[in-house]
Amino acid sequence: MTLIQSPPTTIAHQKHARSVGRKHQALMLMFGVTAIILGGLGGRLAYLQLMQGHQNREMAESNRIRLLPKQPERGKILDRTGKILAGSRLSHSVFLWPLAQKKAEWSQTLARVSQILNIPVADIQKRLEQEGYNSPYRVRIARSISPQKVTALAENIGELDGVQVDAEAVRNYPNGDLAAHVLGYTGELTDDDFKKHPQDNYRLGDVIGQMGIESAREQDLRGEWGGQQVEVDGAGNVVKILGEKQTHAGKDVTLTIDLDLQKAAETALGNRKGAIVAIDPNNGAILAMVSRPAFDPNLFSTRISEKQWERLQSTDHPFVNRALQGYPPASTFKIVTTTAGLESGKFSPDTVLATSASIRVGGIDFGDWNHAGFGPQGFVGALTWSSDTFFYQIGMGVGDQTLIQWTRRFGFGQKTGIELGNEEAAGLVPDDEWKQKEVHESWFLGDTVNMSIGQGFLQCTPLQVAGMFAIAANGGYRVKPHLLKDNEAAQTWREALKLKPETVRILHEGLHGVVNGGTATAAFSGTDLAIAGKSGTAEDFGRESHTWFGAFSPVDKPKIVVVAFGENSGGGGGSFAAPMVRQVLEAYFHPDKAQKKQAEVVAAPRD
């Protein structure tokens, strides 16, 4: 029997066939996994590119591209002849790049910067956090640093990632504290400032006017930011400038102030507490405005500490513009009482009244200032000698309503319209309604008596008093005081009070008599100027009296009104305030002599 065996190749072929099938399965599995992974990656890539591409590009660019903002130069403030009252100077400031380091890495850098600049770490960190650690903008942490600090930072700059020293313009007031209350000062925005200007595109570290013209004309003076967009390397170094936007300097602002006359007024007032105002009575242009005590606005070109700020605030309120605050006007107000008496028709220009040591009203004796009276007097004589008992009778004769009406027509009890309106008091013209509300009493005849000589509840600012003298000077026109030389609307704005020619004549003769033979003769003895004026001494119960003197010149065609005010100065208006007015008037009409005298004062040795 023959056995038939299968060839070996058949068995080998069967084993090979099974191996081949499994290998294909493994390859297919590997291909599948790969496809899934690639598909996932592709999908994610597509998502990142298509769905989040813009956002991711911004994040990448923010790490590579940064903005170097450049602050514009602030516009200059000029006097009426173009002399600089406020300008700019170059200074060094210190900035931080928030993106230069991670949040956790800043501590060591801040500690070193704090040591060099002598600024608390907490203050620097607060400013960095306000801007944000992911901000591409620089953060200013110090302004106007000393050359020594610039050198110290330069020597350590390799260890101070994200710290940069750069030159920029800072505000400069070449005359120090001269006209400080008119000009104001600038400072970096506070949190409150940000809230007040939400739509004005301010940034952290911006400089803004804080008072005076700097604040009132902020939008003109501030200018427009510019800067560079730059590419930086991993170390934060600029490798390429990608683009630049030019800054636009702020507009210059020209004031009506005369620098030389301002200097003369500042010298006249000296260190005494009070104010001096000089205006053109024909159009209301303010030629000089002084308030004391004052401050040096240059102090705010660098950041001051809270202790420095508190120290400045504690010394007799130097930031208060006393030319715009209310005080009882005293006998200067007899200009209004004269006008009310004559314009009411209840008293004729020829009226003569007996004056005496005092008159009794409602059981109270109201005395004359000389405790004797001046005998029979008309309006001119009563103004010349400032007889209180004469004007008591005029006030009672016209009545409280007429006197109050004329007081308001002269501009008292309301703001003048000056550009510094946020800092100006309206003053107070009291009446029966006000007294019942505030004092819980009705208006008495004695209130009218007090008001007739500028006492009682009446409150007027030195600027308002200057406006009153302007009405007497220019023949009966109420002008609008203004500081902007190019403010044509204010320059030409005048309201005619339609005074009778006889009223204007009596005011001129009576006020001229004050200086020539009356209460202020001694103060103006020897002057070659034709001056008309009036003094005032206001009681301030429990403290020294306030003193006033106002004047205009020349009498026939007045060009200037000057009012001087002494806060709790004591003495009398004729002895304390009148010499200051004379000094300013002579500086205006004889500038060469005034400048020579000013130079002598500056050159004089000091103890």
Angle between helix axes 334-343 and 501-515 (nearest 10 degrees) is 150
- What's the CA gap between 259 and 288, in Å, rounded? 8
- What's the CA gap between 361 and 453, in Å, rounded? 15
Q: Give Cα separations from 53 to 41, 65, 134, 479, 514 (angstroms).
A: 15, 17, 19, 65, 85
The structure tokens 């003048």 sit at 416
- What's the CA gap between 426 and 605, in Å, rounded? 43
Stated as kind and residue range, the H or E segment containing 123 is helix 121-131
| Residue 521 burial (CB count, 10 A) | 15
Catalytic residue among 301, 331, 452, 575: 331
Q: What are phi and psi of 110, to 5 degrees?
A: -65, -40
- What's the CA gap between 38 and 42, in Å, rounded? 6
Half-sphere exposure in the Cβ direction for 268 (13 Å, CA): 35
Residue 205 tokens, joined:
């570290």
- What's the CA gap between 466 and 399, in Å, rounded? 25
| Residue 546 burial (CB count, 10 A) | 24
Is there a contact between 574 and 599 (Cβ–Cβ < 8 Å)?
A: no
Q: What is the CA radius of gyration of the chain?
A: 39
331 is catalytic: yes
Residue 303 tokens, joined:
């950041």
User: 201: Cβ–Cβ under 8 A, 6 or more apart, which residues?
Assistant: 225
Is there a contact between 60 and 238 (Cβ–Cβ < 8 Å)?
A: no
Please name the residue ranges forming H helices in 132-225.
Answer: 147-156, 180-183, 191-196, 212-216, 218-221
The structure tokens 């399965």 sit at 25
Strands 364-367 and 358-361: antiparallel
Is there a contact between 478 and 471 (Cβ–Cβ < 8 Å)?
A: yes
User: 277: Cβ–Cβ under 8 A, 6 or more apart, which residues?
Assistant: 286, 288, 289, 290, 323, 462, 463, 465, 466, 562, 563
Is there a contact between 386 and 535 (Cβ–Cβ < 8 Å)?
A: yes
- What's the CA gap between 339 and 467, in Å, rounded? 15
User: 49: Cβ–Cβ under 8 A, 6 or more apart, which residues?
Assistant: none
DSSP string computed for 411-422: TTTS----TTGG
Query: What is the set of active-site residues?
Result: 331
